[in-house]
Amino acid sequence: MVSINLIFDGLDKLAVPETAGAQRIAEIFWDELDDLLSQLNTESKTRAIAIITGRDAIVQAALSSRGGRRLPSLDALAVNGLHALNRDAFETFDDVSTDDQRPLWWQLYAGAIGANKEVPPVLSENTLGSLTDEPLLCYLLALSGKADESRQRNIDNPNEIYQKLISDIWSRVWGPEPIQLATQTDEQRVLLRQKGPIAAFRDQDSFEQLIEYIAIAAWRGGENRIATLESFDAAVRHTPAEDIWIRFQEDFNSVSSEESFTTLALTFFFRKQDLADRGFEFTHRTFGEYLVARCLVRHVDESVERFANARSVNELADWLNLCGAAELTPTSIDFLMNEMRLKSAEGLRGLRTALAHIFKLSLRDGMPVRAGDQETWRSAEVRQRNAEGALLACVSAASIALMEKDKGASALDIGFMDPNISSRDLLERLNITGFNSTAFRQCLGGIDFRSSTNLDHLHMFLLNTSWRYSDLSGTFCFGSFLAGADLSDVNLTEADLSRSNLIGAKLCRANLTEASLTGARLYHADFSGANLNQANLANADLSESTGLVQSQINAANGNRTTELPDGLDFPDEWLDEANLEEI
């Protein structure tokens, strides 16, 4: 008997002829394939099977067509990524490779095209996470040029790669270049059959706006991260992208909004949650989190003038609608930070000023929440917290990005010197001071936290908070819990951190001139590059601290009960009983 194996790679590429949607295309394909296999297998001397591959959404659309004639009843098989597998995930693993296959992939790819077989850093490290987990994504990374570029410079902003991958999707050569489709001629319909749904967009920015709002819809879906047509319509409604969505449906000439939504999802990395559900999720969650961050930055870019001239918080109504339904994830906040880093210093100055102005209004008056008949005050409170936290994330990211580029820039004043505005109230309102995990703990950098009383941070619980580049000079943080906090590049001049818990805190390059650390818990605190000139270290335990050098100790003040790491010596004046009596 002769075995025939037929491999059909790229089922998703079929979803472009005329106006038929993914479901109908799948049905046609399965019918014709079923006829072909039936003919081949009627011969007693042949045994034919077919393997069909494609992106998840179209494969699942095909499987959901089981109501058609003689369709197979098998489920689709997921493909494991190239990263090393965890053996604990398998009941038996004798035949399961746990090797990182990315270097092997690169060597095979480089050999095929005659390129340098030395594995680029981005394919041997884990800095990009799941972005290098599949051959397709590795291939797109290689095509982007970023893989080879990583040999010459550190690719330290993953947003560059995500943007390049999106641009590559846009610029796929399925046919001639896109043209304007205000009215469809026969020639333009031919173009759609050749180029696919991307041809229905006027430009790349229009395409990107719509997939950003699919990401917003998925983000609002909570832990499931599912975007449905209904949630997408709700997300895009009353936004600049709504007109793009309407034009896309008209130009693509689809028979229904559901079909247009499915077709749009097929242009990017989406898959159906299950065969019975019309919702889509990102095949790589980080794509969605990146696009959410981009959508937020796009919104603030478009709102700079309105925010800068705002006289009331009513200018934040659209922001509340965009961000109120869900809390930002830590990864989205990281992408938000990296997106701001792509801007010029000049652009960041104007953006930061506008954000500071509107945020001051928000701190003073709150978000423009109105509890209606269908909303309780509790849910309105959650929406305000989510929106205010997202705005704080933008404020912090813009400020840090500017201060990284312009060493002369100072921490951003957002109104805490006003006696009617309390930073403590903000931290408590965003649950930053609670035991519950919140991503907003990452969003305290680049801000001037000095207050009219400087008592806002007394005995506060601030576990794992990030304050990079902020100004806390002169603040009274006595007894605060700052374990795991990132205080790198923070101005702590004359700050009182006595009796504070700073276990595992990062104090790299912090300015601690004349700050008080008496009795502070400093196990594994990192002082690399910190300025300890005249800092009070009396009774402080630095024995397990890291990054300290003798010159820092010599510049500080201590006493006989100060404990130092091995290899560092007590300055002579510390041994004087009159120096810094025990507090």
Find, among 424, 491, 432, the residue nearest to 452 by Cα: 424
Q: Are residues 335 and 254 both part of a single domain?
A: no
How many domains is the chain built from?
3
* pLDDT score recorded for residue 470: 96
Tens-digit pLDDT profile for residues 499-539 = 999 999 999 999 999 999 999 999 999 999 999 999 999 99
Q: Is the domain of 399 the same as that of 292?
A: yes
In angstroms, the CA 548 to CA 544 distance is: 10
Answer whether residue 514 is part of any domain: no
Task: Report the 10 Å Cβ neighbour count for 257.
Answer: 15
Distances (CA, A) of 533 to 60, 440, 514, 566: 64, 32, 6, 21
Instruction: Look at residue 259 and tell me if it is in a domain.
Output: yes
φ, ψ of residue 447 to 5 degrees: the values are: -120, 145
- Max mean pLDDT range (74-88, 186-200, 282-296): 282-296
Q: For 268-300, write each residue's pLDDT tens digit.
A: 665 555 544 555 666 667 788 999 999 999 999
Q: What distance in Å separates the CA atoms of residue 206 and residue 408, rounded to the nearest whole number?
A: 37
379 assigned to some structural domain: yes
pLDDT, position 141? 76
Tokens of 474: 């002169």
Place of tokens 């494609």: 54
Residues 199 and 294 grouped into a single domain: no
Q: What is the mean pLDDT of residues 31-50?
A: 83
Whether 15 and 54 share a structural domain: yes
State residue 178's pLDDT score: 43
The terminus-to-terminus CA distance of the chain in angstroms comes to 92
**Mean pLDDT score, 71-77:** 49
Distances (CA, A) of 262 to 56, 232, 438: 12, 11, 33
Q: Are residues 265 and 312 in the same domain?
A: no
- 579: its two tokens: 């120096």
CA distance 551 to 92: 56
Amino acid 177: pLDDT:
45
Partners of 516 in beta bridges: 496, 536
Q: Are residues 310 and 381 in the same domain?
A: yes
Closest CA to 81 of 11, 39, 135: 135
Note whether 261 and 306 are same-domain residues.
no
CA distance 388 to 368: 11
pLDDT at 564 over 50: yes
Do the domain assignments include residue 176? Answer: no
Q: What is the pLDDT of residue 533?
A: 97
Question: Are residue 277 and residue 308 in the same domain, yes or no?
Answer: no
Strands 2-9 and 46-53: parallel
For residue 320, being part of any structural domain is answered with yes
Q: Which domain holds residue 366?
A: 288-413
Residue finishing a domain among 63, 79, 95: 63
What DSSP designation does 125 have?
S
> In DSSP terms, which residues pair with 531 in a beta bridge?
511
Mark whether 326 and 233 lie in a shared domain.
no
**Which of the given ranges, 31-40, 248-257, 384-393, has the highest pLDDT on average?**
384-393
pLDDT of 107-133, one tens digit each?
A: 888 888 888 888 888 887 776 666 677
What average pLDDT score do residues 82-109 get?
67
Please give the Cα distance from 244 to 203 (Å, whole number).
Answer: 10
pLDDT mean across residues, the chain? 80
Write the DSSP string, 473-506: TT-B-TT-B-TT-B-TT-B-TT-B-TT-B-TT-B
pLDDT band at residue 203 using 50, 70 and 90 as cut-offs? confident
Q: How many angstroms separate the CA atoms of 454 and 472, rounded?
A: 9
Q: Give the least confident one: 72-76, 227-231, 331-335.
A: 72-76
Answer yes or no: is pLDDT of 407 > 60.
yes
**In the predicted model, is pLDDT for residue 251 greater than 50?**
yes
Element (H, E) at 511: none
- Asked whether residue 279 falls in the same domain as residue 295, the answer is no
Residue 97 pLDDT: 59
Residue 80 lies in a domain: no
Stretch 477-489: mean pLDDT: 93
Pairwise CA distance, residues 236 & 359, whole Å: 24
222 part of a folded domain: yes
Looking at residue 181, its pLDDT comes to 41
| Domain end among 271, 287, 303 | 287
pLDDT of residue 105: 86
How many C-beta atoms lie closer than 10 Å to residue 312's C-beta?
10
- Residue 399 sits at φ, ψ, to 5 deg, of -70, -45
pLDDT band at 230 (very low <50, low <70, confident <90, very high): confident
pLDDT higher at 23 or 461: 461
Give pTM, 2 decimals: 0.76
Helix (H, G, I), strand (E, B) or coil at 336: helix
270 lies in the same domain as 343: no
- Which two tokens mark 343? 């801007």
Backbone φ, ψ for residue 77 (5° rounding): -100, 130
Contact status, residue 225 vs residue 288, Cβ threshold 8 Å: yes
d(CA 412, CA 352): 8
User: Are residue 247 and residue 340 in the same domain, yes or no?
Assistant: no
- The stretch 543-557 carries a mean pLDDT of 95
**Cβ atoms of 502 and 522 closer than 8 Å:** yes
Structure tokens at 316: 């934040």
Q: Which residues of 409-443 are buried (b: 16+ CB within 10 A; e: fewer)?
A: bebbebbbeeeebbbbebbebbbbbeeeebbbbbb
| pLDDT recorded at residue 308 | 95
Strand 46-53 to 447-448 pairing:
unpaired
Distance of CA 439 to CAs 22, 293, 392, 574, Å?
38, 14, 11, 42
The whole-angstrom separation of Cα 450 and Cα 468 is 15
pLDDT for 445: 96
- Residue 109 near residue 164, CB atoms below 8 Å: no
Q: Average pLDDT of 157-166?
A: 82
C-beta separation of 325 from 386 below 8 A: yes
Residue 376's Cβ-side half-sphere holds a number of Cα atoms within 13 Å equal to: 3
What's the full length of the chain, in residues? 583
Q: Tell me the average pLDDT across 237-256.
A: 79
Question: Under a CB-based contact definition with an 8 Å cutoff, are residues 155 and 132 in contact?
Answer: no
Per-residue model confidence (pLDDT) at position 174: 39
Residue entry with tokens 């001639």: 176
Q: Please determine, for residue 462, whether its predicted confidence score (pLDDT) is greater than 70.
A: yes
Look at residue 72 and tell me whether its pLDDT is greater than 60: no
pLDDT above 60 for 6: yes
pLDDT confidence of residue 71: 42
Residue 439 within any structural domain of the chain: no
Displacement of CA 401 from its chain's centroid (Å): 16
Residue ending a domain, choose from 287, 305, 323: 287
